[in-house]
Amino acid sequence: MDAHGPLSDNGVVRLLTHTGDRLEHPEYSPFAQDLDFAALRAMWREMVIVRAFDTEATSLQRQGELGLWVAALGQEAAQIGSGHALTDRDWVFPSYREHGVAYLRGVDLADILRTFRGLEHSSWVPNEHNFHLYTLVIGAHTLHATGYAMAMDWDGLVGSGRPDHDAAVICYFGDGATSEGDTNEALVFAAVNNAPIVFFCQNNQYAISEPTTRQSKVALAQRASGVGIPGVRVDGNDVLASYAVTRQALERARSGGGPTFIEALTYRMAAHTTSDDPTRYRTRDEEDYWRERDPIARLTAYLERAGELPQAFQEEVRAEGKELATRARIRLKESVRAPARDMFDHVYAEPHATVDSERAWYERYEESFVDAEGSHR
Amino acid sequence: MTTLTMAAAINAGLRKAMERDPKVVLMGEDIGVLGGVFRVTDGLHKDFGGDRVRDTPLAESGIVGTAIGMAMRGYRPVCEIQFDGFIFPAFSQITTQLAKMHYRAQGNITLPVTIRVPFAGNIGAIEHHSESPEGYFTHTPGLRVAAPATPEDGFTMIQQAIACPDPVIFFEPKARYWDKADVDLDAPFDEAKATTGMSRARIVRQGDDATIVAYGPTVRLALQVAQVSEEEGSSVEVIDLRSLSPLDHQTVVRSVKKTGRCVIVHEAPSAFGVGAEIAARVTEEAFFHLEAPVLRVGGFFMPYPGSKFEHDYLPSVDRLLDAVDRVLAH
């Protein structure tokens, strides 16, 4: 692997090796100090449950129940680690693969499937979770996140020094998004406005089929130096390190220290989506290499070796994961599409003549199929 | 009553909106100390400060994209895109994000963002500074599109656009910025009627023989042609659409049912433009009242030419009069 390229291991913060051994880091270990075994078990539980759900969703797509599924497989540590550093007051702007973060924000994962079935474009109320809608236009939401963070600052939510008051934004995106104009504009706007935002890039090494080397000649975190904000690389398959670097960055943002760019080096273990075929562009050897660096496996190894992951707990969590998967499956199959006329709702906040007249026409058209006995012809 | 140019009238409207609602924030390139390249925000930076009149980085997508985030937190951003031809870097944010967010969120997010765009030509400008891109936005569900033609409407409609809970693309005819008229700065403003108020067309001249439909920069042209027609013995009605989305087609249809003839004039290319939509509406709803085919007078289907050609490219009194004469010949 290129020693300085976008996939090098240079300067990557790591607190847990892929064999499950703890490492110390002078700057970041203190930010993971509060993670005792109970906390790590909680993270393990979340990672396992999210993966169980993810696997079920892939099956549901294969069985024709979903139009598409976007698996987060392999990225659980980056998401659960960073997500744990958030408070309820912080705001999250996800891309479309952050099911782990959604879970932590209290979004019912079973509901998310409605979106991927094509019943609706969003399946949660952002304000109820401080978790914005998924955005499919790559990088577009980085600007929304930045504007939102600037407005949080105007609202006095930054730099009061009160931990129960200050807040920040975290914005998730992938390696491909770092090439988008919007992401670069977001970095500029955030930097010059000292916005309370953490840019959390999950470098999962592929934008569908394009490796990160098609996006960058240097480590993605180096983009930060161009706009004058701190950039840090972290092992995204290490839940402790992902937590620690995010916690530091969020604390900086909340205290008025401005934005941080985090690059979490991880690996998209599954296909880009269920429509993708990774065998066309990557090798089995590469996949094996990263399977050995599975984010859940290394935490399992560490906790088991410490005698802190009892078998009974593991079984309990796996049962919980299965329960969620089953509930999601049943809920999905029972889901009912709203009547067609409802698709005319919410185009505008206030009445709009074109929408109103087309809705009226459509209703008359539908009525025309009703015969004298009141049933549809 | 105060006599104001359209630029000054819009400036006064912005000031009213900012005084009324502390959440109104202006943002754009050179709108601060400079007061905007057309001086539409002149003096606002001095009076409201740099937090509410914000000079942004030179990034149109960034302006609109961050405005979306601000609106999500309850602000009412008013973005200035410096010139019509520079709106395209923001096109994705406007069409894929701003326009759709309320729908995608099933009504759980509203984005009261106003995007002001000095538009259209006739000022001898170089490339990219004279365009009429309104058709891209009228074709996008989720956006409202408005274009004032007079100082009075500039003053009132900008306030209505800002008060409207939906995104509004507000096209300001730059050639009309220096037109003067009396504006009632103390006119009462009804926030609850803002959206309906700016959505209605206005009959600016009554007539019986033909209807000219215009908006923004071509309203004055239409009135000139109506005047010439009157001298030639024909009575021409002129409609200022004011709103392009929604389109107040009922006002147009009512008028055409009376006159039986319809000519639409805009600076944007005729092909696939706003005029095509109006022609289709009139054909659907006033077909049996028509005495002549519906005609369009617009820019030609080409990139906006060098400014030395613009008087030949743009709808002129002669070209519009020619079209009116042709419908009257039936």
Contacts of B321 (CB under 8 A, 6+ apart): B225, B228, B229
**Among candidate residues B198, B219, B234, the one where a domain is terminated:** B198
Tell which residue, A326, A238, A292, A247, has the closest CA to residue A43. Answer: A238
B188 and B58 both lie in a single domain? yes
Average pLDDT over residues A41-54: 98
B224 and B186 both lie in a single domain? no
Rounded to a whole number of angstroms, the distance from the CA of B300 to the nearest CA of chain A is 28
Q: Which residues does chain A have within 8 Å of residue B27's beta carbon, measured at their own beta carbons?
A: none
Q: Is B159 helix (H, G, I), strand (E, B) or coil?
A: helix
Rounded to a whole number of angstroms, the distance from the CA of A124 to the nearest CA of chain B is 8
CB contact under 8 A, B70 and A148: yes
How does DSSP classify residue A106? T
- Substitution target from A171, A346, A356 for chain B, most B beta carbons within 10 A: A346
Is the pLDDT confidence value at A374 over 80? no
B214 and B302 both lie in a single domain? yes
Length of chain B: 330
Give the DSSP H/E element, type plus range, for residue A363. Answer: helix A353-367
Lowest mean pLDDT of A143-147, A269-273, B100-104, name the range. Answer: A269-273
Q: Is B191 on the interface with A (CB under 8 A)?
A: no
Q: Is B222 helix (H, G, I), strand (E, B) or coil?
A: helix
Per the CB < 8 A criterion, the answer to whether B315 and B222 are in contact is no
B8 and B90 both lie in a single domain? yes
Is the pLDDT confidence value at A371 over 80? no
CA A285 centroid distance within chain: 27
Q: Which residues does chain A have within 8 Å of residue B70's beta carbon, measured at their own beta carbons?
A: 147-148, 150-151
CB contact under 8 A, A127 and B107: no
User: How far are the Cα atoms of A197, A226, B72 from residue A191, in angstroms, in the given order?
Assistant: 9, 10, 20
Percent of chain B at pLDDT > 70 equals 100
| pLDDT tier, A40 (very low <50, low <70, confident <90, very high otherwise) | very high
B184 and B168 both lie in a single domain? yes
Average pLDDT, chain B: 98
Between A and B, how many CB-CB pairs are < 8 A?
142
Rounded to a whole number of angstroms, the distance from the CA of A116 to the nearest CA of chain B is 13
B207 and B116 both lie in a single domain? no
Which amino acid is residue B324, in one-letter code?
V
Is the pLDDT confidence value at A372 over 70? no
B230 and B303 both lie in a single domain? yes
Minimum-distance CB partner of A140 among B56, B59, B65: B65
Per the CB < 8 A criterion, the answer to whether B148 and B157 are in contact is yes
Per the CB < 8 A criterion, the answer to whether B304 and B131 are in contact is yes
Tens of pLDDT along A244-262? 999 999 999 999 999 999 9
Place of tokens 């984005």: B111
Minimum-distance CB partner of B92 among A137, A349, A353: A137
pLDDT for position A376: 61
Place of tokens 């891209």: B136
Q: Which residues does chain B have within 8 Å of residue A349's beta carbon, measured at their own beta carbons?
A: 102, 107, 110, 165-166
B14 and B123 both lie in a single domain? yes
CATH number of the domain residue B40 falls in: 3.40.50.970
B64 and B186 both lie in a single domain? yes
pLDDT for position A7: 83
CB contact under 8 A, A182 and B51: no
CA distance A248 to A240: 12
Percent of chain A at pLDDT > 70 equals 97
B127 and B268 both lie in a single domain? no
Q: Which residues does chain B have within 8 Å of residue A127's beta carbon, measured at their own beta carbons?
A: 108
Rounded to a whole number of angstroms, the distance from the CA of A363 to the nearest CA of chain B is 19
Q: What is the pLDDT along chain B (330 residues), one digit of tens a residue?
A: 999 999 999 999 999 999 999 999 999 999 999 999 999 999 999 999 999 999 999 999 999 999 999 999 999 999 999 999 999 999 999 999 999 999 999 999 999 999 999 999 999 999 999 999 999 999 999 999 999 999 999 999 999 999 999 999 999 999 999 999 999 999 999 999 999 999 999 999 999 999 999 999 999 999 999 999 999 999 999 999 999 999 999 999 999 999 999 999 999 999 999 999 999 999 999 999 999 999 999 999 999 999 999 999 999 999 999 999 999 999
Residue A281: active-site member = yes
Is the pLDDT confidence value at A102 over 50? yes
Q: Would you say the C-alpha torsion A255, B22, B50, B110 has a positive or negative sign?
A: positive
- Substitution target from B54, B72, B102 for chain A, most A beta carbons within 10 A: B72
Contacts of A213 (CB under 8 A, 6+ apart): A5, A6, A7
Place of tokens 């499937």: A113
Percent of chain B at pLDDT > 90 equals 100
Is the pLDDT confidence value at A1 over 50? no
Domain count, chain B: 2
Rounded to a whole number of angstroms, the distance from the CA of A9 to the nearest CA of chain B is 32
Is the pLDDT confidence value at A377 over 60? no
Tens of pLDDT along B95-140? 999 999 999 999 999 999 999 999 999 999 999 999 999 999 999 9
CB contact under 8 A, B248 and A188: no
Is the pLDDT confidence value at A300 over 60? yes
Exposure b/e, B23-57, CB count within 10 A at least 16 = b: bbbbbbbbbbeebbbbebbbebbeebeeebbbbbe
The answer to whether the bond into B246 is cis (omega within 30° of 0) is yes
Q: Which residues of A touch B (CB under 8 A)?
A: 120-122, 125-127, 132-133, 135, 137, 140, 142-152, 154-155, 181-182, 185-186, 188-189, 192, 345-355
pLDDT for position A202: 98
Domain that holds residue B223: 202-328
Is the pLDDT confidence value at A36 over 60? yes
Q: What angle do CA A120, A124, A129 make, to 5 degrees?
A: 160
**Among candidate residues B198, B214, B247, the one where a domain is terminated:** B198
Tens of pLDDT along A187-227? 999 999 999 999 999 999 999 999 999 999 999 999 999 99
**Among candidate residues B181, B198, B215, the one where a domain is terminated:** B198
CA distance B200 to B291: 26
Show the tokens assigned to B27: 């943002």
B228 and B206 both lie in a single domain? yes
Per the CB < 8 A criterion, the answer to whether B267 and B129 are in contact is no
Residue B129: active-site member = yes
CA distance A15 to A81: 12
- Substitution target from B55, B73, B110, B284 for chain A, most A beta carbons within 10 A: B73
Contacts of B222 (CB under 8 A, 6+ apart): B204, B212, B214, B238, B265, B320
Instruction: Give strand pairing partners of A171.
Output: A93, A199
B304 and B214 both lie in a single domain? yes
CATH number of the domain residue B300 falls in: 3.40.50.920
Choose the catalytic residue: A18, A97, A254, A272.
A272
Residue spans of beta strands (DSSP E) within A30-160: 91-93
CA distance B146 to B202: 13
Q: What angle do CA A298, A304, A308 make, to 5 degrees?
A: 120
Per the CB < 8 A criterion, the answer to whether B59 and A189 are in contact is yes
Rounded to a whole number of angstroms, the distance from the CA of B9 to the nearest CA of chain A is 26
CA distance B99 to B304: 27
Determine the number of helices (DSSP H) and then strands (DSSP E) in chain B. 13, 14
